[in-house]
Amino acid sequence: MHIFSAILFAAITFSAQAQNQGKAILSLGYNYSLPTGAFKSDLISNGSARGFTGDLMFTINHKWSVGLGFGFQDYYQKYPRAIYPTGNHEETSAVLSNSIQALPVIAKGTFMPLAGKAGLVQPYITAGAGLSFVSFRQYLGAFGNVSSSASFAAQGGAGVIIPFKKNSATGINIGADYNYVRYQHFGYSNLNNLSFHAGVHFPLK
Amino acid sequence: MKKLSIVFLVSAVSTFWFAGCSKEPLNHLTAEETRIYVTNYDSVANFSAYKTYSIADSVAVIDNGQHSRALSASDQAYIDAVNKYMQQRGYVLTTANASPDLGLTVNRIYNTATSVVTYNDYYDTYYGSYWDPYYWGYGGYGYYVPYGYSVYQVTEGAVSVDMLDLKNAKSTGKIGLVWNGLVRGEGIFAESNANAQVKALFDQSSYLKANN
């Protein structure tokens, strides 16, 4: 949590400076997420095509920006009927459904190494940490449990911005992120995932 | 600026549209998939040591703690199915007065929960957007609700099959419940589903087998 606090503090500090010095840039995009590791093997193996992502970033200089990332992703999977041990000598035959909604709020920084140089495509790398608000519903047949929590999340990613025209601050943003989401409830360990996003990128002023 | 607004509008609408496509798990279940089959057994019971059984000729209806007996077509279908699968496992049907090793009962269980809906919650001006008075052409008016709440009830049902140890009743001084199967979900009281429900309970209880 110390890392998260430091990044959040840095982002807020830089954001405050940037509001005076730089531009506010909003990215909004469609997000596709692929569960990985224990999330994939224990909870949801399907990719989720139901999500969006957004960043509100403030430029510090022409290469660096800091701000907040946010988003939403809906994961769902129904497993065929199987028999689960549910007690000492109790077994339950059921169709198992897992439904997870994640809303990350991430303090993040972005570095664009080629910013200011001629060229259409601007690559960038990004990293951040924050919280993911997770709603987890698990059903045996029609009978379920609900759990809501806030979990530590960290993110690292890369992508490109393709301006609509030369020197335009508005463009298309395409990228990928790896998301670490610590989730230690009901014996599960994480909701780590790899996400791909595509959307638009434009200054607010 | 106009172009920027269009970009923002299109991207916002499209992204939030995707967000609105969350899958509600309960809307993606068939009636069969809503059902669960739960079995419990006594770990010290030796099911192969039992030879004979008897089954009650009617069904106990347990409705919020009130007991009665019934025999609907669905009840009879459950009793027939239990007989069928007990005999498939090698147990022999006998009468209750012929000292059977096992006694079986089928039970319908209903639990009714009572909840309250509070009208003030959604006619309060604080929640006015729920049914904004503008909808009726009386913008700026407030609602007046002379009564505060209404009561509604939700009933949930289950079917259980209980297996009782009569063979050892005299030596232990009690009638032990050695196996129980419970069915919950949509359509469980339908006569046409009874056989499949009982089959599912027996399918996951492979230890139920007489040693003839």
pLDDT digits (tens, 9 = 90+) for B85-97: 999 999 999 999 9
Indicate yes or no: CB of A29 within 8 angstroms of CB of B15: yes
> Mean pLDDT lowest for which of A136-150, A189-203, B145-159, B183-197?
B145-159
User: What's the mean per-residue pLDDT of chain B?
Assistant: 86
The CA-CA-CA angle for residues A29, A2, A129, to 5°, reads 5
pLDDT value, residue B143: 75
Residues of chain B with Cβ-Cβ distance to A26 below 8 Å are 8
For B41, the closest of A26, A89, A94 (CB atoms) is A89
pLDDT of residue A116: 75
Q: Can you give the residue range of the structural domain that contains A43?
A: 2-203
| Arithmetic mean of pLDDT, B43-68 | 93
- What band does B17 get if pLDDT is binned at 50, 70 and 90? low
pLDDT of residue A103: 95
**Contact between chains at A144 and B25 (C-beta distance less than 8 A):** yes
- 8 Å CB contact of B22 and A140: no
Residues 166-205 of chain B with CB under 8 A from chain A are: 184-186, 200, 203-204
What is the reported pLDDT for B81?
98
Q: Closest partner residue to A141 among B8, B10, B35, by Cβ?
A: B35
**What Rg do the C-alpha atoms of chain B give, in angstroms?**
27
Cite the beta strand spans of chain A per DSSP E: 24-35, 50-59, 64-85, 90-111, 122-140, 143-163, 171-181, 193-203
* pLDDT per position as a tens digit, A123-146: 999 999 999 999 999 999 999 989
Mapped onto helix, strand or coil, the DSSP state of residue A204 is coil
List chain B domain ranges: 27-203
B15 and A140 within 8 Å at the Cβ level: the answer is no
Cβ within 8 Å, pair A26-B22? no
- Cβ contacts of A15 within 8 Å, gap of 6 or more: A58, A66, A67, A68
Instruction: Tell whether B63 is within 8 A of chain A (Cβ).
Output: no
Which pLDDT band, with edges at 50, 70 and 90, does A114 fall under? confident
CATH fold group of domain B27-203: Double Stranded RNA Binding Domain (3.30.160)
Structural domains counted in chain A:
1
Which of B8-12, B50-54, B149-153, B190-194 shows the lowest mean pLDDT across its residues?
B8-12
- Contact check, Cβ <8 Å, A88/B26: no
pLDDT of residue B90: 97
B7 touches chain A (CB under 8 A): yes
pLDDT tens column, B72-124: 999 999 999 999 999 999 999 999 999 999 999 999 999 888 877 776 666 66
Question: For the domain that residue A129 is a member of, what is the CATH number?
Answer: 2.40.160.20
Contact B16 A52 (CB under 8 A): yes
By CA distance, what is A200's nearest residue in B?
B11
The pLDDT mean for chain A works out to 88
* Test mutation, B38, B154, B178, chain A, max A CBs within 10 A: B38
Return the minimum-mean-pLDDT range out of A14-23, B41-50, B52-61: A14-23
List of residues 6+ apart from B141 with CB closer than 8 A: B133
Among residues of chain A, what percentage have pLDDT more than 90? 73
Per-residue tokens: B142: 């407030």
When CB atoms are compared, the residue of B25, B37, B42 closest to A92 is B37
Question: Chains A, B: CB contacts under 8 A, how many?
Answer: 113
